[in-house]
Amino acid sequence: MHHYAFPKSHHLRSRLEFSAVFDGKVREARGPLMVYARPNDLCHPRLGLSTSRKVGTAVRRNRIRRLLREAFRHLQHDLPAGYDIVIVVRAHEPLALPEYQRLLSAIIVKLHSAWQRRQAYRG
């Protein structure tokens, strides 16, 4: 049985943590989401969100962030362990939770395979 909590330790917080993920230069876009990923040395994924004012009012931005955090919380045990993930949100109407889950799942699987190819190429 999985525990679906989303504690603070699973959040990316500092500018350095976000910069490290962006500097990895592995990203994938699908629909209104651009997702960056980078392996970490932890046994769980961590999430960071970046939502500009272009997305809409504070109410809309916060709703989208809540939905993305909830989608990540439900998917965290199905995702490859040990990644720092930053989601950059583009302007769009908020989607339903299952739609965000579908988008995130597909994007993160693709990013995981990109990191595996990169590791195989280097090693």
Question: Could you give the C-alpha distances from 37 to 44, 63, 64, in angstroms and in order?
Answer: 13, 23, 20
* Fold (topology level) of 8-122: Ribosomal Protein S5; domain 2 (3.30.230)
Q: Find residue 87's DSSP bridge partners.
A: 35, 49
Which has the higher per-residue pLDDT, 118 or 60? Answer: 60
Which helix (H) or strand (E) element contains residue 114? helix 97-122
- For residue 39, the Cα-to-chain-centroid distance in whole angstroms is 12
Q: What pLDDT score does 115 carry?
A: 85
Q: How confident is the model at residue 123 (pLDDT cuts 50, 70, 90)?
A: low
Q: How many CB atoms lie within 10 A of CB 48?
A: 18
pLDDT tens per residue, range 59-77: 999 999 999 999 999 998 8
Distance CA 39, CA 111 (A): 10
What pTM did the predictor assign?
0.91
Would you list the domain boundaries of the chain? Answer: 8-122
